[in-house]
Structures are given as structure tokens and as C-alpha cells.
Chain A
Amino acid sequence: MNIDWLITHSPALLIALPLLAAFLTPIIDRVSKKARNAFVIAVLIIEEIIMILFAWDVFTNGIHIYTMGASNPTETVPSQAVVPVRIVLEVDGMGAFMGLISATVSLAAGIYSLAFIEEEKGKGKFYTLLLLVLVGMVGMEFTGDLFNLFVFLEVLSIACAALIAYRSHFGDAVEGSFKFLIISSIAALFVLFAVALFYAQYDLLNIAALASVMQYSHLDKIALALLVAAFAMKCGAVPMHFWTPDAYSVAPAPITAMLVAASQASLYALFRVCFTLYGLTLNLEVIGGALIIFGLLSMFVGVTMAIPQKDIKRLMAYHAISQTGYMLLGVGVGLYLLAKPEFSSYGIKAMEGGIFHIINHAMYKGLLFLTAGAVYYRLKTRNLNEMGGLGHTMPYTAIFFIIGALAIAGIPPFNGFASKLLIYEAAYKVSPILSIIAMLVSILTLASFVKVFHSAFMGPKIHNVEEAPKSMLVGMAILTFVIIFFGLFPGWVVNHIVHPAAQALADQASYIQAVMGG
């Protein structure tokens, strides 16, 4: 039981541990409620620790391979076969990076939930589903097999749908969940159809093996279109964004924070398909241009729809769409510039910006949703017009909200500034107009959050409420700590965490080599 053994088996362990816990939770729930809470939190903390150790190892030593059920974890291709037969887990820098986000957000959401869902019945099932969301995210991020990606996409979307409808005594919660579930199952079936097309042509399911034989035939192009449409639907980019505000606004606050991370897992799958599966055979400028256009549309539509909203969580949900636009813009600019050799250093920089923005977004948007949840917990309303003067009675929540709002608007010294600066710089190389639009959207975001802060926290004291419970404050503090840390040391973070992730995404050859050898 030494550290090497742990690192070798951690790709499987990181999925098996929350899964085991999810199966155990209903049984422990029968025995004691306190034990169940302690058990869930302990599992989430252990998961986070193993994830940090493992991610650090991936960032320093490169890709990890784990073949399920083989006699040796690294034996991807059996001795008599020429192609991978078993399911291979393949974790590169990008996968480990996304895993870190998932584990951190889940930990914060888990601790926050302790107080938040106090009054509901069926809490055992709530924690089971929360662990299963984590399983789905990590499973999607670690897998190296297309069909397996589909399976964990379904785990993720079903668990999310069930949690969105958790407060099923509100009609709109059930409706939002229904919409989400229908969209997700259609998206998942598109993915399955694309998998079938690959299977028909190459008799392969492994991503790396498929990438090594990809011919970019007509069928491959159709499969690409289906996969991009499916994952764009799931990550909530314009024009398939209509489910996001409905689902985000009705879910319990900790679940909304996890939904942000879950939609980023879909974004990761989108990038994985574009970069690794198609990679070199792809026409980089066209797909980069398409991502830029999607990104700009998402940014603009999201922020303009957000400004008139009265519901605090709907408003934040529209901002989530607009921030997804930044990530697409960053990575799209990266792809576009990578196609031109003279700008390729800027290309990597733009991708770093987009990828850094993913983790930043998960942290500050998660924090903002959690503060909105704290306000809802005390006031039982999401309407901004009924709030006011909360700064007097809920000072910690107000501080957390300010930090989150400044980070989302890209004000130094918070983390949003660092990633947005990287995107502005690189987008300027493509066209100055892109940078100007991006900055404009930032300013509108700031304006919108100033409005929210003013109407919720400023003004005379109207409501006689207490500060949010301790466990909720701890959950918010975890995310705030990460935001401030990333804001104070952006250089260190970019060099040690973001750069390996961007490099891994751009480097298709070593991803293939890790599985196929030679």
C-alpha cells in the first residue's frame, strides 16, 4: 500500500471510490443520519486528496494509462492482437485538470449541502446522487474509449436530471428537469450513433486507436457534426442554450454549482473530440473559426439576456452561457492560430487562456451560485426586487459575493482577470474586433453584477435574517480560497497546471503513442 501503487491504480480508484460510496450511502442512511453525512464528506475529502496527488503526477510525468481487466495496467494491446480490445482509461494533463475541477466543486457542494437541504426528506438519496454526479464527471474525463464516454455521459445527465428535480414539490423544478433530460438523452443518442459510425468503418472504439486510422471520410464528417452538435447541446453554448436557464435556476444551489462543472465535462468532451480524435486530419481554420463564432454568439446572447432578469439564479445562468463563450473563444482562437506556423506560440497562449478560464469559471460561478443559494435559504425567494439590505445581516455572504462578482468581471487581482487577459492578447492577433467585443461583454457583466449587488445587499435593512449556517460558509470559503490563490499566483498556476493541460490537448501524437506504442 505505498504511494506508487496508489498512483498506478488511481484512475480506477478515483472512479470506484465514489461509486462504492454511492452504493453504501443508502445502507448507512438506514443506520444513522449523522454517520451518513460524515461518511459522504470523508469520501469527498479523500477523493480530493488522491486527485491532487494523481494530477500532480500526471502534470510532471505525463500520460497515465490504465487498461481495465488486463493482466498489466499498461498492456493496452494484447500480445496477439493488433488493436486495443479492452477499455483503456487514459488520463493526460487535460483530463487530470478537469478531474481537479470536478473533485473541488463536489467537495464544496457536498459540505454546503449539509445545511442547505436540512429540511428536505430523502437526504440519503440526495447524497447518493451527488456522488454519482462526481462519478459521471470523473468517468467522462478519464476515459479513453468512445462508448465508455457515452455511458458516463448518461450517468452524469441522469444524476443531474434527478437532482434538478430534487425539490419536486415545485412544478418548475420538474419541468426544468424534464427539458434537461430530453435534451440530454437526444444528445447521448447522437453520440451513440456517431460511435456506431466509427465502429462500422474501423471496428474500433478506442479514441487513440481511432485517431491513428482516421481517414476523414464523408461518414467521419457526419460523425463529427453529430458529436459536436451533441456536446454543444450539453455544454450550453448558443444556439442550443435554451435549457440552461431553466435547469440552473430551479436546481438546489449546490447542484447548480455542480451543473456548471458538469457542463464543463461536456465541453472537455467537445475539445477531446476536436483535438484528439480528429486533430491533424481536421481543417483547423474552419473548425477554429466555427468555435470563435459560437463563442462570440454565446458571449453576446448570454450577457444581453442576463441584464433584464429579475430572478437572481436565472441571471447567473445567462452569465454562465456568456462565460462558456469565453472558453470557446479562447480555444477557437488557439486552433485558428495553431494552423498558422508564425503565430503558433500565440495559439498555445490562447488555449491556455481558454483552459484557465474553465477552472476559473467553475470556481467563481460555483461561488456565485452558492451565495445565491445562501440568500434563498434565508429569504425563500429568488426575486431581486424582494431582496435588499442583506449586507447588514449577512456580511460573510456579501463578501463572498463581491469576490465572485469581481472575479467574473475580470477585475485584478482576481483569477478571472488573468485568464481573460490571455484571451484578449491572443484574440487581438486574429482581429482587434474580437478583443473589443470580449472586453465589452466583460463590462456588461460587471454592470449586471453591480446591479445585483446593489439590489440584494445594499440599502436599508429590510429583512431580519441571520447569517448563513456554518457549513454553507465553509463550502463557499473553499471556492473563495481557490479564487484568491489563483488570482495572486496566476504565473505559477499557468506554468504548472494550465500549460501541461493545454500542451496535452494540442499534442495528439503522444496521446496516440501512449496507447498504440511505437
Chain B
Amino acid sequence: MKKAIIFIIFAIFLFYTAYELHPFGEIKESKMDDYIIENAQNETGANNVVTSVVFDYRGYDTLGEATVLFTAIAGALVVLRRRK
């Protein structure tokens, strides 16, 4: 019962979110992305803008992401380790 109420509240909130958002495909603000598209080739020398975001502009996030993967795999090895 409690769960059903939580679920319905969430559904209403989320659909309201979709209703409030900008129309699909018409972006309101794009200062950060336009800067990146225009300057990525010049600053990082890579043709693939997404890769230059992943490894250069937001390279620190990728380090975090690699850490998450490392953590989870170390965790899985710990949980499933043999005990003999």
C-alpha cells in the first residue's frame, strides 16, 4: 500500500516533468556545448568531439568512471572469492 502511493506520486511528478520540458529537439540554452563543438578540434586535436569531451573536458569524470568499474570488479572478486 505504502509502495503504491510512492509509485503513484512518482508517476505524477515525472509526467509533469516531461510536460514542463522544452519541446523535443529545440534546445533552450547551448553555451557550453557550442563552445565545445567549436573549440574541441583546436584544443585537443581530436576529430571526435564526444571523445574529446569524455577524455579531455570531462576527463576527470572518466577517471571516476574507470574507478567505479575497478571498484565493482574488485568487489565482485571479493564477494565471490574462495575460502580455502
The interface of chain A, by Cβ under 8 A from chain B, is: 19, 22-23, 26, 68-69, 78, 80-87, 121-122, 125-126, 128-129, 132, 135, 139, 147-148, 151-152, 154-155, 158-159, 161-163, 165-166, 168-169, 174, 177, 197, 200-205, 217-219, 222, 225
Is A162 in contact with B71, judged by CB distance below 8 angstroms?
Answer: yes
B71 partner, pick from A26, A132, A169, A197, beta carbons under 8 A: A132
A374 to B16, CA, bound (A): 52
- B80's nearest neighbour on chain A, judged by CB, is A168
Residues of the A chain whose Cβ atoms lie less than 8 Å from the Cβ of B57: 69, 85-87
Tell me if B81 is interfacial: C-beta within 8 Å of chain A. yes
CB-based contact B32/A154 at 8 Å: no
CB of A125 within 8 A of CB of B77, answer yes
* B32 in contact with A155 (CB, 8 Å): no
Distance, CA A82 to CA B31, complexed state (A): 7
- CB pair B68 A219 closer than 8 Å: no
Say whether B72 faces chain A, with CB atoms less than 8 Å apart: yes
A166 cross-chain contacts in B, Cβ below 8 A: 78
**A interface footprint on B21-41 (CB within 8 Å = 1, 0 otherwise):** 110000111111101100100
List chain A residues, Cβ under 8 A from B33: 203
Q: In chain B between 30 and 84, which residues have their CB closer than 8 angstroms to a CB of chain A?
A: 30-33, 35-36, 39, 56-61, 63-65, 67-68, 70-72, 74-83
Of the residues B58, B61, B75, B83, contact of A161 by C-beta under 8 Å? B75
**Which A residues touch B65, using CB under 8 A?**
151
Q: Is the CB of A202 within 8 A of B29?
A: yes
Can you give 15 contacting A-B residue pairs, CB < 8 Å?
A: A19-B67, A26-B74, A69-B56, A69-B60, A129-B71, A132-B67, A132-B70, A135-B67, A147-B58, A151-B68, A155-B68, A158-B72, A158-B75, A203-B31, A219-B17
Taking CB atoms, residues of chain A closer than 8 Å to B83 are 121, 169
Q: Known pairs A80-B39, A83-B32. 16 more at Cβ < 8 A?
A: A69-B57, A85-B35, A87-B59, A122-B78, A129-B78, A132-B70, A147-B61, A159-B71, A162-B79, A177-B79, A200-B22, A203-B27, A203-B32, A203-B33, A205-B32, A225-B13
> Which A residue's beta carbon lies closest to that of B22?
A200
Interface set of B (CB-CB < 8 Å, partner A): 13, 16-17, 20-22, 27-33, 35-36, 39, 56-61, 63-65, 67-68, 70-72, 74-83
Find A155's partner among B16, B60, B64, B80 (CB 8 Å cutoff).
B64
Question: Given the complex, which residues of B lie within 8 Å of A87, measured CB to CB?
Answer: 57-61
Q: Which residue of A lies closest to B84 (CB)?
A: A121
Judge whether A197 and B17 touch: CB under 8 Å. yes
Determine the residue in chain B with the shortest Cβ distance to A209: B32
Q: Please tell me if the beta carbons of A121 and B82 are within 8 angstroms of each other in the complex.
A: yes
B16 interface neighbour in A68, A122, A203, A222, Cβ under 8 Å: A222
Known A19-B67, A81-B35; contact A68-B60, beta-carbon cutoff 8 A: yes
State in angstroms the CA–CA spacing of A310 and B32 once bound together.
56
Knowing A23-B70, A132-B71 touch, does A222 contact B77 (C-beta < 8 A)?
no
A147 to B32, CA, bound (A): 15
* Contact of A125 with B31 at beta-carbon distance under 8 Å, contacts A158-B68, A222-B16 already known: no
A128 vs B74: C-alpha distance in the bound complex, in angstroms? 8
Whether A151 and B61, one on each chain, are in contact in the complex, defined by CB atoms closer than 8 angstroms, is: yes
What is the bound-complex CA distance between A58 and B61, given in angstroms?
24
List of B residues within 8 angstroms of A177 by Cβ? 79
CB-nearest residue of chain A to B30: A203
Closest to A205 in B: B32
Bound Cα distance from A151 to B65, whole angstroms: 7
A146 to chain B, nearest CB (A): 11
With a cutoff of 8 Å between Cβ atoms, the chain B residues found around residue A22 in the complex are: 67, 70
From B19, which residue of chain A is reached at the shortest CB distance?
Answer: A218
Q: Tell whether A162 pairs with B72 under 8 Å between CB atoms, given A87-B58, A218-B20.
A: yes
> Known contacts A78-B35, A203-B31; is A122 also within 8 Å of B77 by CB?
yes
Which of A126, A158, A161, A166 lies at the interface centre, i.e. has the most chain B CB atoms within 10 A of its CB? A158
In the assembly, what is the distance between CA of A338 and CA of B68, in Å?
39
CB distance from A434 to the nearest CB of B (A): 28
With A and B bound together, what is the CA distance between A460 and B30 in angstroms? Answer: 73
Residues of A within 8 A of B39 (CB): 78, 80
5 interchain residue pairs of minimum CB distance = A162-B75, A151-B64, A203-B29, A68-B60, A81-B35
User: What's the least CB distance linking B11 to chain A, in Å?
Assistant: 13
Would you call A162 and B60 a contact (CB within 8 A)? no
Q: Give the residue name and chain of the B residue nearest to A120 (CB).
A: B83
A26 to B65, CA, bound (A): 19
Task: State A166–B59 Cα separation when bound (angstroms).
Answer: 31
Most buried by B among A23, A147, A154: A154
Cα A168 to Cα B80 with chains together (Å): 8
- Are B68 and A154 in contact, with the CB atoms below 8 A? yes
Contacts of A121 in B (CB 8 A): 81-83
Residues of A within 8 A of B82 (CB): 121
Please measure, in the bound complex, the distance between the C-alpha atom of A168 and the C-alpha atom of B61, giving whole angstroms: 31
Alpha-carbon distance between A154 and B75 when the two chains are bound, in angstroms: 13
Taken together as a complex, chains A and B put the C-alpha atoms of A135 and B60 apart, in Å, by 13
**Interface contact A162-B74, CB-CB below 8 Å:** yes
